[in-house]
Structure 1
């Protein structure tokens, strides 16, 4: 259930936005419709400023990761948007607690033209009727309907059950997978694992055969950050992380009897010292550091980090043999792989936005070269320079690691001027081929996750037999009405 305090904030949010519309305070006399078809006709993608002439070309935006790395640089980011588009922007980017500050700001009466939010938050706002539908605009947009800009199939990620679109991607959101020390595979004359038995044998070798060559028994086969991203292993049983819906009923596959063999396999790794014993308390940084410092041969993490891990070690030692590689996980009995796709971040336009046409112009622009460079490389002459067509990062740009909210993007017409880091392309291809989104019903997953994690830890560490842990997990989820 949603905590009472959260319900109050959400209700205040909905009341504030909807109340503004009822009072006719849209500011331009042309607020989008709340229901039925989409709002006003889409501006042409090649001349989006024509509609925007009817309103002041300014935007109030709130974003979680898009923008400058410091308050001072955020101001430069605003000015760069204005230089590139002619749109005057006020960009609010809280340093922490984004969702809470977003809800508080809107509930206090602050208006925004654009919000950067997660798909989960978008679904909540859709339920409350406070977002502008963008389906028709997307269909009519020469930019966004181009499959080279956004692949056609990707739109399924953000569509509602009735096929409507309320949010447009801010970036390419990757997925997670097992990441292996491929140089250890080669050193020990092994092959990349395919089955659960293969994974056990490889991880056992990483534990026992001194892959780092220091003569000490100080390595583990696998480390995780708690239950973070075990999808690649549960794929062996054909089980999806988080929720699934069948015949209108919600269920959590990790709480079903089909999950028991996977928990027993993980318990075997734990009992034999193959699984890092600190996995229950690790955060992702500790997990990554074990991988980078030759303490563990496999972690479960994001596709983008395959490249960053390789680049980090290469920067430290240009002659290193270190090689991180993404794996597709384990196929189920039907030969199907199942990886996890991260929930996309999207741009949405609140129904009480004062400059909705300009907001749409900005959304289209965000998928063009100038915007992609801004969201990735950063601010020209601050993060990067263009010397006769040769793009070079400044010291500031190198420190910012080409990520101002858009480390990766969809638009195939805009290649990365520095190319992709080693291993990233192959890992991303696995995500595009095998990964799908989880279902995260509003207000349920946070409470369900605590129960799942608690009993999963008990099963993996042997505090309870796996069958008993799964049974108790399911009983508690049902008792709290978190599954049907």
Structure 2
């Protein structure tokens, strides 16, 4: 539903995105293991003279998590540490997470985009490649890289994802885990109301109703909003019905786009039901960054969370407000189509692309930075400083003070554009601080990771086709689709789910969807033997 929340805004937003994507092309034409401590942690002398360094600029996501006393995303202890220890001087360009692509598009169109642009969305990187906003870098990696080039040899599964139109346009790294989304529920509320953990769509809705009507927080008031949402909620809903909105499915040998499938009616029906029956916040469309939903959860007014598989910060804030609260992970539940896993990522993590305006010297400097980050830089950004934020205990980094870590380190992971690490549930207890809250959550975190990975997420092809006609269609279609879906979900009887799907298909066809489907099928038929 995160996609729908923006649709409640003016159609002006959709027009701005479309206009920006059209103007982009014109504007662009003018190893160490996780347990090893790197030599360059804060306070050490492994530095490079500032006067000898080249400068590069790098985009990053602004999630609003830098405490005032720490500084800003552009200037804090970690930006200073990076510039002291890395082979280059980095200027960071923050973009709000929920507006990252429009903001980056605006910077590109104005000729002010950073040297390195990164995003999780491979389709967006494809769009930039097709528009000429970024440039091929395969030859430069071969020429200038050492650490990353060797890393790619160890992770050949990454290489197909880095190529667009037959050329390497990005660098990436293997994810710490393929787990991404997750569902959580208040076990103490289930126990109080004598309910079982839901395993089907129908049971899930029934539990939500009983959370709404059963006064699980015991305050004698009907003020419970059963389900708290997040930026991941829409994808969780779609995973249940095998209809992820920007994903292609192979149905009887034919590629079909998720948002136009017959069963997308069930996704819209489910979302509408949650809204119409008061099982989600009625103001979610205007809940920018989902802060209202977070507040509902952490203040004990919501009992189900559709979000990420790891919610440590949210859990800690909930426990502070209600020490008796107990959040536990939910396994994905079944629909009439069977059981799909919750959204799991493809092997690559963030995609970092190189601005087309960079010259060879700038590219060389950027590759040196990537090599340094992969070899040494990421560890302190993820774990902090030894004997300050963690202690080494039997080869495992054990967090010392969760509050200190949250304040001084948690935001630093945004700077780690390369990571070489694998998450293992069995290490969570050893890594967690020794207080009761941290230890209890570490147990649930391990269960969450296991549950998320228990059921395979349906991904018929590893990545979507990336030809220009498709990327342009998606950029134009998505805002229109969000408007339609918002009307279905929040508009009462003004548009049924069936009418909504009909409108989606109508707009898809009007914008050239039939031709794109033909091109996508040709792409699939040509490449399907290499997509397994």
Do they superpose with TM above 0.5? yes
234-243 or 190-199, which deviates more: 234-243
Distance in 1 between residues matched to 2:165 and 2:498, nearest whole Å: 35
Using a 3 Å threshold, how does the CA distance of structure 1 residues 301 and 332 change in structure 2: closer, same or farther?
same
Which of 309, 324, 333 aligns to 1:303? It is 309
Q: Which residue of 2 aligns with 1:116?
A: 118
Structure 1 SS opposite 2:325: coil
- TM-score, normalization by structure 1: 0.72
Q: Which residue of 2 aligns with 1:366?
A: 373
Q: Which residue of 1 aligns with 2:171?
A: 167
Give 1:89 deviation, angstroms. Answer: 0.9
Give 1:294 deviation, angstroms. Answer: 2.1
Give 1:418 deviation, angstroms. Answer: 4.6
195-204 or 248-257, which deviates more: 248-257
Structure 1 SS opposite 2:60: coil
Give 1:209 deviation, angstroms. Answer: 1.9
Which of 505, 518, 529 aligns to 1:474? It is 505
Give 1:108 deviation, angstroms. Answer: 6.6
- Kept in 2: contact 1:340–1:438 (CA 8 A): no
Give 1:60 deviation, angstroms. Answer: 1.0
Aligned 1:38-437 pairs, distance under 5 A: 58-65=54-61, 70=71, 74=75, 77-85=78-86, 87-94=87-94, 114-118=116-120, 119-129=122-132, 130-134=134-138, 141-146=149-154, 153=157, 158-160=162-164, 162=166, 164=168, 166-169=170-173, 175-224=180-229, 229-244=233-248, 251-283=256-288, 284-304=290-310, 306-316=311-321, 319-330=323-334, 333-339=337-343, 341=345, 344-350=349-355, 352-368=359-375, 370-377=376-383, 398-406=406-414, 410-412=420-422, 418=432, 422=442, 423-430=444-451, 434-435=456-457
Distance in 2 between residues matched to 1:111 and 1:277, nearest whole Å: 37
Give 1:467 deviation, angstroms. Answer: 1.5
Give 1:95 deviation, angstroms. Answer: 6.1
Per-residue CA deviations over 1:241-292 (Å, capped at 9, x if unaligned) read 2242669997542343212234334444444333433333333111111122
Distance in 2 between residues matched to 1:139 and 1:88, nearest whole Å: 16
208-217 or 330-339, which deviates more: 330-339
Using a 3 Å threshold, how does the CA distance of structure 1 residues 379 and 448 change in structure 2: closer, same or farther?
farther
Using a 3 Å threshold, how does the CA distance of structure 1 residues 128 and 8 change in structure 2: closer, same or farther?
closer
Give 1:90 deviation, angstroms. Answer: 3.2
Q: Which residue of 2 aligns with 1:23?
A: none
Distance in 2 between residues matched to 1:366 and 1:452, nearest whole Å: 39
The unaligned stretches of length 5 or more in structure 1 are 17-55
- Kept in 2: contact 1:239–1:259 (CA 8 A): yes
Give 1:310 deviation, angstroms. Answer: 1.1
* Number of residue pairs aligned between Structure 1 and Structure 2: 436
Using a 3 Å threshold, how does the CA distance of structure 1 residues 73 and 406 change in structure 2: closer, same or farther?
closer
- Kept in 2: contact 1:309–1:324 (CA 8 A): no
Using a 3 Å threshold, how does the CA distance of structure 1 residues 107 and 472 change in structure 2: closer, same or farther?
closer
Query: Does residue 11 in structure 1 map to residue 22 in structure 2?
Result: no
Give 1:460 deviation, angstroms. Answer: 3.2
Using a 3 Å threshold, how does the CA distance of structure 1 residues 206 and 163 change in structure 2: closer, same or farther?
farther
Per-residue CA deviations over 1:143-189 (Å, capped at 9, x if unaligned) read 45446xxxx65666545475846222497586223332233223333
Per-residue CA deviations over 1:346-379 (Å, capped at 9, x if unaligned) read 33344624243443232233234x4123433558
Using a 3 Å threshold, how does the CA distance of structure 1 residues 94 and 392 change in structure 2: closer, same or farther?
same
The unaligned stretches of length 5 or more in structure 2 are 1-14, 31-51, 518-532
**Greater share of helix:** 2
Distance in 1 between residues matched to 2:78 and 2:184, nearest whole Å: 35
Using a 3 Å threshold, how does the CA distance of structure 1 residues 217 and 331 change in structure 2: closer, same or farther?
same
- Kept in 2: contact 1:376–1:406 (CA 8 A): no
Using a 3 Å threshold, how does the CA distance of structure 1 residues 411 and 236 change in structure 2: closer, same or farther?
closer
Distance in 1 between residues matched to 2:463 and 2:452, nearest whole Å: 14
Give 1:471 deviation, angstroms. Answer: 1.3
- TM-score, normalization by structure 2: 0.66
Using a 3 Å threshold, how does the CA distance of structure 1 residues 399 and 320 change in structure 2: closer, same or farther?
same
431-440 or 455-464, which deviates more: 431-440
- Kept in 1: contact 2:473–2:511 (CA 8 A): no
